Amino acid sequence: MTNMTLAVPEDLKRIMGNHKEVKWSEVARVALWEHAKRLELMDRLVAKSKLTEKEAIEIGRKIKQEVAKRHGLKSA
Q: Does residue 54 belong to any structural domain of this protein?
A: yes
DSSP structural state of residue 41: H
What are residue 9's phi and psi, to 5 degrees? -65, 155
DSSP structural state of residue 30: H
- Cα dist from 3 to 15, 25, 34, 35, 54, whole Å: 22, 10, 18, 18, 38
Cβ-defined contacts of 4-7 (< 8 Å, 24+): none
Give the range of the structural domain holding residue 16, as residue numbers without chain letter.
10-70
Q: Does residue 47 belong to any structural domain of this protein?
A: yes
Total domain count for the chain? 1
Q: Does residue 62 belong to any structural domain of this protein?
A: yes
Q: Does residue 16 belong to any structural domain of this protein?
A: yes
Q: Does residue 51 belong to any structural domain of this protein?
A: yes
pTM for the whole structure: 0.64
Reported as a single tens digit per residue, the pLDDT across 16-70 is: 999 999 999 999 999 999 999 999 999 998 888 888 889 989 999 999 999 999 9
Q: Does residue 75 belong to any structural domain of this protein?
A: no
Q: Does residue 43 belong to any structural domain of this protein?
A: yes
Residue among 35, 34, 32 at smallest CA distance from 3 = 32
